[in-house]
Amino acid sequence: MKSKSYSTKTLKAALCLTLAAIASTAQAGADKFVAGPAIPEFGQIAKVDSMMPIPKDMKFKVAFDMSKAADVGKTNRQLESLARFINMHVAAGVKETDIELAMVVHGGGISDLADDVFYAKQHSGAVNANRALVKALVDHGVKFYICGQSAAYFDLTNASLLPGVDMALSAMTAHAILVQQGYSENPF
């Protein structure tokens, strides 16, 4: 009976040590993310020993899709992903001029690309925490397209869009046009 109790205590101790090691590893991993070279204030990146080399003449044309707004007071993680994409590829040696990104936004996500007046109406008077991020992305050539059907539903007009954000007939239309222009669609 004593050996069984000792075994249970040993297993519990081993489990606790394992969980502590996993938790500390997860925290250590987050510490590896640093500011990127192109947009240092957004889209932190980690150095990776990649086994999939990027061809020297690689040109990226990638369209992303966003349908959900960020929590009030926070930047949208999907917008951060655009900055991360630019930062990690520039850090890996891709010329920024060889990176063309587009974001198609629909549904509730449209408020994250609207001015503070519209945003406040949708979010109990709050200011849009995404303004600086969107400006930085536009300054780095990212194209933004708002779904006109979602905009009509939420009463968002062109005048309320952040600078550099354009209205499309619909998200479906924007994606179809971007594919015809040679953009691949990022599934994340």
- What are the strands of the beta sheet with 143-147, ordered from one edge? 165-168, 143-147, 99-105, 60-66, 184-185
Backbone dihedral angles phi then psi of residue 103, each to the nearest 5 degrees? -125, 125
| Residue 4 pLDDT > 70 | no
For the CA atoms of the chain, what is the radius of gyration?
22
| Residue 23 pLDDT > 50 | no
Assign domain 60-185 to a CATH class. Answer: alpha beta
Share of the chain above pLDDT 90, in %: 82
3 compared with 38, residue with greater pLDDT: 38
Percentages (nearest 5) of helix, strand, coil residues in the chain: 50, 15, 35
- Rounded Cα distance between 55 and 21, Å, is 37
Q: Is 42 left (phi over 0), alpha (psi -120 to 50) or beta?
A: beta
Res 29: pLDDT: 82
Residue 25: pLDDT band by 50, 70, 90 thresholds? Answer: very low
